[in-house]
Structure 1
């Protein structure tokens, strides 16, 4: 689902208005000599608004907690990091399409939040903290766990599990199958079952295992990690849409 840009920008502007520092007006009939400033909005309103805008940040600038400086004027305004993030996110929402058009890169954009929920829910926390390789591993584990849940098995996992559940053989006691189409004996049926099992083996052998077992590997670049998440999203959608045969 794409972002409602007008709504998102409105929420960002509201947050910026609430967290703007100003000198409170003097009480009636009094003149107060003070340089003290306070936010325009009440703390409760700011906290409620922050809950919303942080989710916008996660969509527009996913690594904002690391990219946006958190020092500087924090003592003056505790929301200064959020304010800068809001300004950056607003600029990105306003001008992203324009920038991509003028720079010649108006290709469709893939957002992690549009991936299958098993994948993004498994990866979200690690992804947002910049641990991309671990996020992919967590997503792989989530897909494996949800597949086990669907077929009611704990005695097999990962490659062995997918080879079993997408086997073209008839189901057996303790070995249910997943079918993407009715077993009509056609080449299409055989191709689908074989293809999904092979795809799953590739995901776990070439993506999950190196990410999990190799010490000292450098952090995955974000675009590469997103591609790997997308691979597991494809697998998750096949599993989720398949019919259980027992």
Structure 2
């Protein structure tokens, strides 16, 4: 993320949504708690379109963690303003906080994963439904693989077993190939590994998440690890060439 640009956009939004109480009309005393914004409504809406995407990156859970309902009667943009203020601090002091707390390890963001994965998971992830978000991402990767291979007769484990099979392509059974087939061990190893990895993703992550009733919600960090696994698979599928008979 371009931190300087993001902070400027947040600052502009905060300027537009600065709150004030309008003067009462002559002879009228308004006891309403509502506050008005300094900027024009159209300008605020346009700015919010960009700011919401910044917030999704900087504070992925802002919609559920930043107070909302109790402040709607005060101002429509109250939640967005607090989220923008928090995000600005997070962006400005992220490196300092990691260093001071003794953990300057690289950060992983769901929004930075392969687009198929984040597009599939985004709505559920932002509402805190992490297990369902991972399942949705798995379905999206499966659907994109089907699209790339033009196959609807197979899905998930069987689809990827066929896709990365070491056997030559057949009519109606195209293959996905990672790298240039030079007949060497490295090429065979990479594609064999992709098949095994895909099997593990669907058998070990997607199936339990979808078919086991009563499972507790995933912790966010565990769900993030699972999303990352599907992101790896998505990048392989996206970059692979299709071999046809």
TM-score (norm 1): 0.91
Classify the secondary structure of the residue corresponding to 1:145.
helix
Note if 1:135 corresponds to 2:133.
yes
Query: 1:206 and 1:21, CA in 2 relative to 1: closer, same or farther beyond 3 A?
Result: same
Structure 2 spans left out of the alignment, 5+ residues = none
Partners of 1:157 and 1:26 in 2: how far apart?
A: 64
Q: 2:103 aligns with which of 89, 105, 111?
A: 105
Q: Which position in structure 1 is the counterpart of 2:6? A: 8
Task: Give, in angstroms, the shift of residue 33 of structure 1.
Answer: 8.2
Partners of 1:16 and 1:231 in 2: how far apart?
A: 37
What is the aligned-residue RMSD (CA, Å)? Answer: 2.1
Partners of 2:74 and 2:190 in 1: how far apart?
A: 61
Partners of 2:112 and 2:185 in 1: how far apart?
A: 32
Aligned length: 242
Offset from partner CA, 1:142-194 (integer Å, 9 cap, x none): 11111111111111111111111111111111111111133333211221121
Q: Note if contact 2:64-2:126 (Cα within 8 Å) is conserved in structure 1.
A: no
Q: Note if contact 2:160-2:199 (Cα within 8 Å) is conserved in structure 1.
A: yes
Q: Note if contact 1:19-1:39 (Cα within 8 Å) is conserved in structure 2.
A: yes
Partners of 1:230 and 1:46 in 2: how far apart?
A: 35
Classify the secondary structure of the residue corresponding to 2:69.
coil
Task: Give, in angstroms, the shift of residue 222 of structure 1.
Answer: 1.1
Q: Which position in structure 2 is the counterpart of 1:183? A: 181
Q: Note if contact 1:68-1:81 (Cα within 8 Å) is conserved in structure 2.
A: yes
Task: Give, in angstroms, the shift of residue 34 of structure 1.
Answer: 7.3
TM-score (norm 2): 0.92
Partners of 2:168 and 2:71 in 1: how far apart?
A: 66
Partners of 1:142 and 1:73 in 2: how far apart?
A: 36
Task: Give, in angstroms, the shift of residue 73 of structure 1.
Answer: 3.7
